[in-house]
Structure 1
Amino acid sequence: MATGGAPKPEEETVVFPDWVMLECIFRKRCHDDLDAAGEAVNKNKTAAPVKIDSDHSCFVSFTLAAPPWSSYFNLHWSERQGSEGLLAFVRAIDKNLVLFDISIPDRIRYMDAPLDLFVYTASAPSPSVQQLPWCSTKWFLAHEFTTGILQLKAEHCYIIADLNVHLKKKGVSAELCIFNSGANEWRIITKVLADKLLDLWWTDDVFAFDGRFFCWVDYFSGVVLCDFSKNVDSPVLHFVPFPGGIKYPDDARFPRYFPGRFRSVSISQGIIRYIHIDNDFHETIHSGWQGIPPKRSKRRQKQLTHKITIWTLNSKFEWEFPVISMDDPGVLCCLLRAKEFDGKEWMIMVDMNHADLQSCTDVNVEDKFSNTTQLPTVFSKYLQKENRILKELLS
């Protein structure tokens, strides 16, 4: 005779992609109230509650898909709190950490009001969200693409850093705003040693590398690296130019025209990879130097030891927002458009070394591409149920 209660059904196993391409701009999911929002994400393994203040709470979740599909950051919001003008943005990702901000219009009374910043920690069985203390300065954290997050090798320890570069009478100076999770406070370092920073430096992107480096990217010049494994109180910036020695004129560097459409820097198989779709867009758009190729520095080219691979593309379509596969540096994911900023859109994955189209998917109307840089990340792995996977990834 059987004894005891009925056996509990096994929890459904959810398998997430090994890596994803996450769009930075959020998707707003409105619900009647907070209880309805919680019910909607009740069985979502990526969901976590967020308490902003005594009057505002919500849930966050992620819609994850294997590349070349894009993945999305969702904000589940109660209509009773008012949703008009609500904004959220994913700023940076490293390993199992996602840094994002939420902007609520009725809480911003003045232009210099500090943003609400949060850190999402992907873990199984339940991810979590931590709200960061306010940083009361108008000079930092105002631009989404300049703030990065670095997961340190010590468990549950991370650093957030924002870079501010500005021109002075005697050259260029740099400042850093740093949050250390161990101290749980922001610090501003006004005197940062920096070498070879350009006068018109502009940060287009930032990412973490090897558990120790912050890498700020200017797509017209190169990468600024800062090693945080050494003295955090006295950081030093080192500039590494992009291969090829191209020098863009000032009237291309200053207006920008979103260079991230055709360039990206990311990590694949533990190596930093730079890709440039050389379609002459930034060489021909400006009337002041139309048709004049950018200058190339022979001296700089001789000093470079980078390996440069050239893929030749013959296509009548626009290739934009390139992302190198995190598993294979020879595989390229990107957006394909019939016309510039118009027409039908596809997300494609191509083995460039063998000219093999591995995948092609339509971009539907609901998830229309947001024209922002996508973040390649492996944080989806940390949501797996097995603890051994988490330990392996953190080691």
Structure 2
Amino acid sequence: MTKGSRSSRRARANQLDAAAAAAAAAATTYPPWVLLHRSCTAVAPGSSIAGRNTQAAGHTTTGLPIAVSICVAPPPEGSRVCVQHPDGVQSTCVVVAAHGDSVLIKVSSLDRVTDHFIYNAFDAAAVTPRPPALLLLPVCYLDLNGTGLLRRGEDEFVVAELRIGYDNTTRMAAGELRLLRSGEWRATRPRVSHDGGEGKDFPSTWHNDTVIPVGDELLCWADMRHGLIFSKVFDESPGLRYVPLPKDPNFGQTVFRNVCVTAGGGTVKFVNIFPRCCCGGPSRSNCRLSEHAYTVHTWTLNMDDMTWVMDGILDSAYLWALDSYKDLPRVKLEYPVVSFDEPDVICFLVRGCNNHDKNSGSTVWTIAVDMRSKTLQSVFRYPNVLGSKSWQNIRPSRVSDYFNSKPSSLKPDSTQEQTVPSLANKSHAEIELQANDIRKSLQSPVESAGAPMQASKAAASPEATILTALEEIPGLDPDDMLKAYRILSYDDSGRRFRSLMRLPMSLRKDFVLLEIKGSEACFICSACSADQQL
């Protein structure tokens, strides 16, 4: 090897090291809030599940190991909860509720056993910093749309399920409120109060569409057709208070409205998307000029007297005239979600054909719009329309912000370190990337390097070993090298790297390019493309 080639190789290695360090730094910076899809992502044993910093492990009621982590992406892109089981175990996992540093997850397996876990992110600002943890709840059946989670302090939480019925004796609405507090379930049947009198003007039917936490004292059940029910679930005898939504004479479907919390979680905001006629009136029209025209109205709930105050209007004409919107379809927006931090910023779903290519087929975008400045802040296009199916049940959550405060010196406790590897041991051989494994792979007969160089590599860190192995692949583009470095270094199991090193040198480039292609084809979300095996 010439001096020039060695210098070039050293410079390229330095460039890759710098890029990898920057990527690692970026990976540890999480957005202050996320939008959690309801459907969880199943992850194969031995694969990296969205990030080491977010992983928690535990066991089901039948003793099976389970690991949960969060694949984080900044809004308006959705984030996902990832669930890992041993080989051969299948389950349906969904996000039920979220508040603060916690997420309530339902896990239904093929043996008809249903478990509920509370995933709790670590909080380095707490008195006793700790890694993420899974808490298995007492066995119960919970309604997905009628169950909420409220966190308070470091360890207090309430899981609450509300069902609305009618008392035949009093002919008034009554709720059955089931509460999990201090590890025990109990049920109460409070009546529904209203400013106009107990039960007065309460709708004849009630359907829970979602449950939102308001601050750390209230849970709010929302029926998007009628109104909200608030309850102080930490009280010894919590009551129920009904607040109707603003009137809408043109109400059509619930996909065009939503109730959210914003300004840090203490302000309740209602968003409604009205159809607009070409004449400007708030009504539907078959006119070609206004087939998809709309206006977005927002209200904020005054918590003192429980009255709504309209505070924003945006017409579709403003958005359609923006240069940043020119590639998006001019259709009615759907599924509004208000930013957790910024009351004027709302995320929407947009589905349709590209304005410049009517034969492009149906595509889905999520966008963030500033109602005050009437600007389009950001756009995310789903790689596959199936990837957006659970947007209609999206859950805003602050859980990602708790990962930002983790000190670099914080290590999982002994229980955590023992539980995660045991997940792999249930189904296949030890998957951790040990120094002996690296040494064996580097001493493979297909390796052309001499023994002194092998010993030097074996003594290096796994990341340095991966980088050196990639540099030795003839004709590998630097961009592809960086992508492969990220894929291999984030693979906690080490299986990809061991597979690479067992191949003859002539096949390693093809193997790396296939891994890159496979990771980029992941339809779940861009943030997990290199970290998951479906």
Shorter-chain TM-score bucket reads 0.7 to 0.9
Pairwise mapping of residues 154-193 of structure 1 onto structure 2 (< 5 A)? 154-169=153-168, 170-180=171-181, 182=182, 184-193=183-192
Which of 365, 374, 381 is 1:355 aligned to? 374
TM-score in terms of structure 2 length? 0.56
Q: Which runs of 4+ in 1 moved over 4 A?
A: none
Q: Can you list the C-alpha shifts for 1:254-293, whole angstroms capped at 9, x where unaligned?
A: xxx6x1x22111111131111111238xx98xxxxxxxxx
Q: 1:264 aligns with which of 237, 255, 258?
A: 258
**Corresponding residue SS for 1:307:** strand
Q: Distance in 2 between matches of 1:247 and 1:362?
A: 33
Which residue in 2 is equivalent to 1:343? 362
Partner Cα separation in structure 2 for residue 305 and residue 331 of structure 1: 19
Bigger share in helix: 2
Matches within 5 A, 1:218-229: 218-229=223-234
**2:95, 2:103 within 8 Å by CA — same for their partners in 1?**
yes
1:69–1:347 contact (8 Å) kept in structure 2: yes
Structure 1 residue 345 displacement after superposition: 1.1
Relative to structure 1, the CA distance from residue 177 to residue 305 in structure 2 (aligned partners, 3 Å threshold; closer, same or farther) is closer
Partner of 2:248 in structure 1?
A: 246
Output the CA distance in 2 between the equivalents of 1:42 and 1:344: 25
Aligned-pair distance for 1:338? Answer: 0.9
On the 8 A contact 1:27/1:75 being kept in 2, the answer is yes
Query: In structure 1, how many angstroms separate the alpha carbons of the residues matched to 2:243 and 2:192?
Result: 15
The 5-angstrom pairing of residues 223-238 of structure 1 reads: 223-229=228-234, 231-232=235-236, 234-238=237-241
Matched, 1:384 2:404: yes
After TM superposition, the structure 1 = structure 2 runs for residues 178-217 of structure 1, keeping only pairs within 5 Å, are 178-180=179-181, 182=182, 184-195=183-194, 196=199, 197-217=202-222
1:56 aligns to what? 64
> When you count strand as a share of all residues, which structure comes out higher?
1
> What residue is the counterpart of 1:101 in the other structure?
106
- Which secondary structure does the structure 2 equivalent of 1:382 belong to? helix
User: 1:42 & 1:222 partners in 2: Cα distance?
Assistant: 37
Give the Cα–Cα distance (whole angstroms) in 1 for the partners of residues 150 and 218 of structure 2: 8
What stretches of structure 2 of length at least 5 have no aligned partner? 1-20, 124-129, 277-282, 285-305, 321-329, 354-360, 408-534
Is the 8 Å Cα contact of residues 250 and 274 (structure 2) preserved in structure 1? no
Aligned counterpart, 1:276: 272
How far apart, CA to CA, are the structure 2 residues paired with 1:356 and 1:222?
Answer: 30
Change in Cα spacing, 1:77 to 1:210, as seen in structure 2 (3 Å) is same
**C-alpha distance in structure 2 between counterparts of 1:279 and 1:368, whole Å:** 27
- Deviation, 1:248, is 8.3
TM-score (structure 1 length as normaliser): 0.74
Equivalent residue number for residue 411 of structure 2: none
How far 1:367 moved relative to its partner? 6.5
Q: 1:29 to 1:366 in 2, by over 3 A?
A: farther
Q: What is the alpha-carbon distance in structure 1 between the residues aligned to residue 215 and residue 366 of structure 2?
A: 29
How far apart, CA to CA, are the structure 1 residues paired with 2:274 and 2:50?
Answer: 46
- What residue number does 2:501 align with? none
Structure 2 equivalent of residue 5 of structure 1: none
- Assess, with a 3 A threshold, how the Cα gap between structure 1 residues 323 and 29 changes in structure 2: closer, same or farther: same
| Contact 2:173–2:192, Cα closer than 8 Å, also in 1 | no
- Spell out, residue by residue over 1:120-153, the C-alpha distance to the aligned partner (whole angstroms, 9 max, x if none): 1111562001000113xxxx61x2011001112x
| Aligned-pair CA distance for 1:320 | 1.2
Change (3 A) 1:223 1:247: farther
Sequence identity, in percent? Answer: 25
Equivalence for 2:94: 89
Shift of 1:171: 3.1
Question: Aligned equivalents of 2:29 and 2:95: distance in 1?
Answer: 23
Which protein is bigger by CA-based radius of gyration?
Answer: 2
- Give the superposition deviation at 1:79: 2.4
> Structure 1 CA distance, aligned partners of 2:193 and 2:259?
21
**What residue in structure 1 maps to residue 34 of structure 2?**
20
Assess if the C-alpha contact under 8 Å between 1:97 and 1:121 holds in 2: yes
**8 Å CA contact 1:47, 1:127 repeated in 2:** yes
- How far apart, in 2, do the equivalents of 1:366 and 1:306 lie? 36
- Of residues 309, 312, 315 in structure 2, which corresponds to 1:309? 312
Distance 2:51 2:103 in 1: 21
Amino acid at match of 2:34: V
Q: Does 1:368 align with 2:369?
A: no
Q: Distance in 2 between matches of 1:247 and 1:277?
A: 12
2:331 partner letter? F
Please tell me the residue identity of whatever aligns with 2:65.
Answer: S
Contact 1:318 1:338 in 2 (8 A): no
Q: Is the 8 A contact 1:263 1:276 kept in 2?
A: yes
Q: Is the 8 A contact 1:193 1:235 kept in 2?
A: no
Matched position secondary structure for 2:52: coil
Q: 1:193 deviation in Å? A: 4.8
Matched, 1:327 2:341: yes
Query: Amino acid of the residue matched to residue 17 of structure 1?
Result: P
Does the C-alpha gap of structure 1 residues 194 and 247 become closer, same or farther in structure 2, counting only changes over 3 Å?
Answer: farther
Which residue of 2 is the match for residue 151 of structure 1? 151
Unaligned stretches of 5+ residues in structure 1: 1-8, 109-114, 285-302, 388-395
Q: Which residue matches 2:424?
A: none
Amino acid of the residue matched to residue 375 of structure 1?
R
- 1:367–1:74 CA distance, 2 compared to 1 (3 A): farther
Quote the Cα distance in structure 2 between the aligned partners of 1:239 and 1:272: 14
Kindly state the Cα deviation for residue 227 of structure 1 after the two structures are TM-superposed.
1.7
* Aligned counterparts of 1:76 and 1:20: Cα–Cα separation in 2: 21
Equivalent pair of 2:314/2:374 in contact (CA under 8 Å): no
Cα drift, residue 42 of structure 1: 9.5
The Cα of 1:356 is off from its aligned counterpart by: 1.2
SS at match of 1:17: coil
Aligned to 1:391: none
Q: Is the 8 A contact 1:192 1:235 kept in 2?
A: no
Q: Distance in 2 between matches of 1:18 and 1:71?
A: 13
* Structure 2 residue identity aligned to 1:94: H
Distance 1:59 1:264, change over 3 A: same
Q: Is the 8 A contact 2:50 2:70 kept in 1?
A: no
Distance 1:384 1:130 in 2: 22
Any idea what SS the aligned residue of 2:76 has? coil
CA distance, structure 2, for counterparts of residue 47 and residue 263 of structure 1:
34
- Change in Cα spacing, 1:94 to 1:43, as seen in structure 2 (3 Å) is closer
Name the CA distance, whole Å, in 2 between partners of 1:266 and 1:305. Answer: 14
